[in-house]
Structure 1
Amino acid sequence: MSELKKENYHISGMHCRSCEILVEDHLSQIAGVKKVNVNYKKGVAEVYYDQKPQHSEIEQAIRNSGYSVGVGKKRPLISSNFMTYYELLFAGGVLVVVLMWLKILGITNLNFQFSSAPSFLVVGLIGLAAGVSTCMALLGGLVLGISSRHAELHPEATASQKFKPHLFFNFGRLASHAVLGGAIGSLGSILKFSPSMLGFLIISAGIIMFILGLKMTEVFPRLSGGGFMLPKSISRLFGLNHEVKEYSHKGATITGALTFFLPCGFTQAMQVYAISTGSFSQGAIIMFLFALGTMPGLLGIGGLTSVVKGAFARYFFKFVALALLILSVWNISNGYNLTGITFAGSNNGESKQELSGNIINGEQVVEITQSGSGYNPRKITVKKDTPVKLLVNATNLYVCTAAFVIPKFQIFTQFREGINEIKFTPTETGPIKFSCAMGMYTGVINVIN
C-alpha cells in the first residue's frame, strides 16, 4: 500500500472543536480522502489522500460546513468598534432598571415559611420560586451564557434548533433528580459534597460564567476563539459530534443530569427533605416535582435566546454578557465563602471586644436566630481554646439558610425546627466564616485571646 500524501488547507471562521468535527466529516466524504485532521486554533485542515482531490471539491466541502477557505485575519486584543461600547452602555442601563424592579418586587428574595414538611404541591411551588431566584442565579446563569453564546455564533440556526437543547437539558435534569432523589431517599445523604468541594464547584461555575460574559461583550475579540471543550475523541465516542448547530442532545442531557450535584439553597433543602422520608419513591417524587417547578424559569431563558434576532439580538446579547459578569462575581464570592479560606488581618484592639453570649459550665453559649433572610446576629466574638456551643433557633426549614456551614471545622448541618446545638472549640485567633450552604448568607465568628 502506497504512503498517503498530505495537503494543508487554510480555513477561516472556525471557533471550537465542534467546528473541527463538522469540517472533518465533510472533507472525509470526498473520494480519495483517507484521513483529515482539523485544528480550529491554527485554522488549518490536514488532508491525507491516496488520490488527490480537486481544489474545488475541498472548497465546496468547507463551504458546506459553514466556513470559507483562506487565512482569517488576526483579531485585535481590544475592540475599537464604537458600537460595541454603545451597545454595552445601553444594555447596562437596561440591566440597572431591571435589577431595581426585581428588588422592588422582592423577586430576588423569595422565601417560603413552613413549620412542617411541605406537601407535593408546595414542593412544586418551591421549585417555581427557585427557578426565578437562586437556581436562576446559579444554573440559569450557565444556561443563559452557553445558549446565548451558541445563538450568537449560529444566527443561521432556526428557533427550534436553538431551543431543542433546552428541552434535553431539562429532561436530563428531571431524570437525574428523580433517580438520585430516590437514591438519597432510601440510602441517606451519600451524595453530599463537603463544604469546600461545593465551594470550589460554585467557583468553577462562576469562572465559566465570567469567561462567557467577557466573550459576549466583544470587547476582547481574541477571547472569542477559546473555550472549555471536550477532546474530539471523547466527543465522537459519546456521539457528541452530531447536530452541531443545535448542540448535542446527549451533551445537553448529561449536563442537565449533572446539575443535581450543583444545587442552590432551595435544592439542598429539598434534598434533605427527600433524605428525611427514608423512601425511594417519596424521595424520587419530591426531587422530580421540585425540578419540574424550576422548568418554566430555565425554559424561559431558552425561549428568549432562541427567538432573538436582528439588531435587537446584539443588544440582548450585550445585556446577557453584563448579567453573566455580575452573576459570575456573585457566585465566585459565594463559593469563596464556602471554602472557609480567610485572610486574617491584625487583631488590634481585640481586648476591647466583648464576648458574645454567656459562659455556662465552661462553655461559651451563643444564641443565633435563623430565618429566610439570614442569621442574627451575623457577627459573634468567642474566646480561644474555650468550647463554644451555638444555639441556633431555626424558624424556616425550606430556604437556603436552613443548611448551615462552618468550613473551618467541616461542619455541614441541616437545621431542624426549633433549637439546634452546634459545638466546636476554636484553637486559633482570627475570623472564622459561617454561611448557608450556597455561601449567600454569611456571618463571622471572631476568635480572640
Structure 2
Amino acid sequence: MNYWLIFLTGLTTGGLTCLAVQGGLLAATLATTAEKKDRLHNAVPTLMFLGSKLLAYTILGALLGYFGSVFQLTTPIRIWFQVITAVLMLGLAGNMLDLHPIFRYFVIQPPKWAGRLLRGQTKNPSVFAPALLGIFTIFIPCGVTQAMEVLAISSGHPLSGAIIMFAFVLGTSPLFLALGWLTTKLSESFRTKFFKFASLLVVFIALTSINGALVLSGSKYSFDHWVWAFKTTFLSTASASAPTNDVTINVFNNGYSPHNFSVKVNQPVNLSLVTQGTYSCASVFTIPFLNITKVLPPTGTTNVTFTPTRTGLISFACGMGMYTGTINVVP
C-alpha cells in the first residue's frame, strides 16, 4: 500500500474538504482564545488541535484495522451519518453567523469536569479546548476521511490502519496551520468577513452532504435526478452512447469515467471497476437501488455483475454520495 499517496490525498483533496467541515470548529475556538492577545501562545491552540487530532485518528485507525470487517459501514448507517453531519454543519454555520442563540448548542464545548481538572494544572485552560475539539473531530469526519476509515477497516491490520490514518491526517495539517495563522494574525474586520465566508462554505458542504444522503437512499429528489430530468426533457436530441452490457469504469480520486452509459434490460451487466492509486470515497462503489456495495482496492480491478429487470435510471455513487453516475436501462 502506497502511504505516500495517502499523504498526498490529505494534502490536496482531503485537506480542502476537511477544512470545510472541521475548520469552523478551529476558527471559532481560536476566536475566543485570541482575545487574550498573547503573541507567545498564538500558535499553541492550533498545534494542540492538530496534535490531538493526529493522535486520535492514529488510535482510531489502529482500532479500525484490528476489528476489520466487524465495523462494516452499511448504506443505512452511511445515510444517517451524512444527515447527522449535515445538521451539525448547518448548526455550526448558524452559530458563526450569529443567527440565533440556539445555534450555540451546536458548538462542541469541553466537558465541565475536564475544565475543572485542567484549571488546576495551567493558568491558561482555554488552550486545552482546541485539544479536546481535535479529538472530537473523529465524530464529524469529512467525506474523504470516512473513505480513509473504510480503507483502514479493509486493511485488516492495526499497524496498517494506524499508518493510513496518520499519513492522511498529517497531510491535512498544513491547511489547518494556515487557517490558524490567518485567524490569529489578521485584523478583526477581515476575520469577521472570513468567518462569514467560511460559514457559507460550511452551508454548501452541508447541502452537499444532504444530497449525498439522498443519492445513497435512491431518492428521486437528489440533485443528480434533477439534472437527469432536465437533460431528458430539454436535451433529448443529445447523442447517447450505444447500449453495452460490458462496461469498464475507471475510478479516479475525483469520480468515475464514464459516469453515464446505457445497458440493455433483462441481460447480465458486468461492470469492471479499475482503480489506480485511488484513495478517495470513490473507492467505495455503491448502487443503492440494487443494494450493491463494493470496497475497491487502491489499485486493481473489481467486477460487479447484476441483471436489470426493468427500464429506467439506476444511480451509482461513492460511499458518501459525493461522486455519482447513472446507468440508463433501455429495452
TM-score bin, normalised by smaller chain: 0.7 to 0.9
Confirm whether residue 371 of structure 1 aligns to residue 252 of structure 2. yes
Tell me, what secondary structure is at the counterpart of 2:69?
A: coil
Q: Tell me how far 1:443 sits from its aligned partner.
A: 0.3
**Aligned partners of 2:48 and 2:127 also within 8 Å:** no
Match of 1:412 among 282, 293, 306: 293
- Report what 2:160 is aligned to: 282
Q: CA deviation at 1:404?
A: 1.4
CA distance in 2: counterparts of 1:235 and 1:373, whole angstroms: 38
Structure with the higher helix share, 1 or 2: 2
Aligned positions, number: 313
Report 1:16-415 matches (<5 A). 117-118=1-2, 120-129=3-12, 133-137=13-17, 139-151=18-30, 156-158=35-37, 164-217=44-97, 220=99, 223-229=100-106, 235-236=111-112, 248=129, 251-258=132-139, 262-265=141-144, 268-269=147-148, 271-272=150-151, 275-276=154-155, 278-343=156-221, 356-357=243-244, 364-415=245-296
The answer to whether the aligner puts 1:440 opposite 2:322 as a matched pair is yes
Distance 1:126 1:440 in 2: 16
Q: Aligned pair in 2 of structure 1 residues 157, 386: CA closer, same or farther (>3 Å)?
A: farther
Q: What's the offset of the Cα at 1:435?
A: 1.6
How many angstroms apart in 1 are the aligned matches of 2:180 and 2:195?
Answer: 13
Q: 1:423 aligns with which of 292, 305, 314?
A: 305
- Structure 2 regions of 5+ residues with no counterpart? none
TM-score scaled by structure 2? 0.74
Q: Work out the CA distance in 1 between the residues paired with 2:317 and 2:60.
A: 26
Take 2:289 and 2:45, find their aligned partners in 1: how far apart are those partners?
Answer: 40
Contact 1:368–1:375 under 8 Å retained in 2: yes
Shift of 1:444: 1.0
| Bigger relative contact order (CA 8 A; separation at least 6) | 2
Q: Provide the C-alpha distance between the structure 2 equivalents of 1:240 and 1:433, rounded to a whole number of angstroms.
A: 52
1:193 offset after TM fit, Å?
Answer: 1.7
Distance, in Å, in 2 between the alignment partners of 1:176 and 1:239 is 20
Q: What is the one-letter code of the residue matched to 1:248?
A: A
Residue 64 of structure 1 corresponds to none
CA shift digits 1:96-144 (9 cap, x unpaired): xxxxxxxxxxxxxxxxxxxxx31x4444333323xxx33432x322332
Change (3 A) 1:237 1:135: same
Distance 1:270 1:149, change over 3 A: closer
Structure 1: gaps of 5 or more residues: 1-116, 358-363
Show the counterpart of 1:33: none
Tell me if the contact between 1:171 and 1:256 (Cα under 8 Å) persists in the aligned partners.
Answer: no
**Contact preservation (8 Å) 1:196, 1:340:** no
Percent identity, please: 26
| 1:265-318 deviation line (CA, Å, top 9, x unaligned) | 366257526743x43223323322322222222233233223334333232223
Tell me by how many angstroms 1:445 deviates. Answer: 1.8
